[in-house]
Structure 1
Amino acid sequence: MTAAHSLAWRTSTRSSNGEKCVEVAPTSDGVVIRHSKHPEAGTIAFSRSEWEAFIGETCGSLSTPNRAATINQSGTDTVVRSLNNSAVELRFDEDEWSAFTAGAADGEFTFPTERASAGR
């Protein structure tokens, strides 16, 4: 996986100035997410098929587990936990997660293979 600092991170167009958001970056072999306000909390990596399942879960159109992360509610926050690295837990408030899910539903985080390769 590519070093986080060299990736082309992006946020949903629905987020407020790209601050305090779910950040998403395509890689040559999948997609990585992190919290823009807390990048030191780590990243969660998804293969292409795991990412498609994660977006499906996020948008409520798919109930198939993505096998890379769990999505749970904790009060009004959404907590995304890595299944591959138990130390990585990303917590998003209601506005942050809503912006991400709206962008995901609009197809903002669909990365065709050739686009992902160009983003390396």
Structure 2
Amino acid sequence: MPTAKRRAGWRKSTYSDQGNGCVDVDFTSDGVEIRHSQIPNSIVITFTITQWSRWICEVITGEPTNANGAVDVSVAPNAWTVRERTTGHTLIFTDAEWRAFQLGAADGQFDPTHPSITEALAEAS
């Protein structure tokens, strides 16, 4: 019988306004998942921890090089589009949503080694 995936729980940047959307992030025993916080039943894009680490560096610098192995990011006026390479699943975020995510990432809020995340995963087991 396969082991159930442990989850830390969905979280968004503390820079995101309560009523506004943002990149919703969940750390799991298998890697990292994102979705749009305003659409809880939206598609989910998955990353391995290695892909996530590469991507979060791209997010923080604001320069999507698309060398992370998981997603391609394209930018248009007020639209940050994240497309998963293997499935084609796509999420679109506004400039404000993306900026909140970027600021949270720069603060280490989405670091998989952060104690709050490792503790949440341990409690889920």
TM-score w.r.t. length of structure 2: 0.81
Q: Give the match for residue 11 of structure 2.
A: 10
Q: Give the match for residue 111 of structure 2.
A: 110
Residue 43 of structure 1, CA deviation: 0.6
Q: Give the match for residue 53 of structure 2.
A: 52
Of structures 1 and 2, the larger Rg is shown by 2
| 1:31-56 CA distance string (max 9 Å, x none) | 10000112333011000000000101
Secondary structure of 1:117's aligned partner: helix
Contact 1:34 1:43 in 2 (8 A): yes
Distance (whole Å) between structure 1 residues aligned to residue 62 and residue 21 of structure 2: 25
The ranges of structure 1 where at least 4 consecutive aligned residues each deviate by more than 3 angstroms after the TM superposition are 61-64
Root mean square deviation of aligned Cα: 2.5
Contact 1:26 1:119 in 2 (8 A): no
- Does the C-alpha gap of structure 1 residues 107 and 95 become closer, same or farther in structure 2, counting only changes over 3 Å? same
1:83 aligns with 2:76: no
Q: 1:72 aligns with which of 74, 84, 88?
A: 74
1:24 aligns with 2:33: no
AA aligned opposite 2:46: A
Q: Percent identity?
A: 36
Unaligned runs of 5+ in 1: none
Residue 61 of structure 1, CA deviation: 7.8
Secondary structure of 2:14's aligned partner: coil
Distance (whole Å) between structure 2 residues aligned to residue 57 and residue 38 of structure 1: 24
Contact 1:14 1:103 in 2 (8 A): yes
Q: Give the match for residue 101 of structure 1.
A: 102
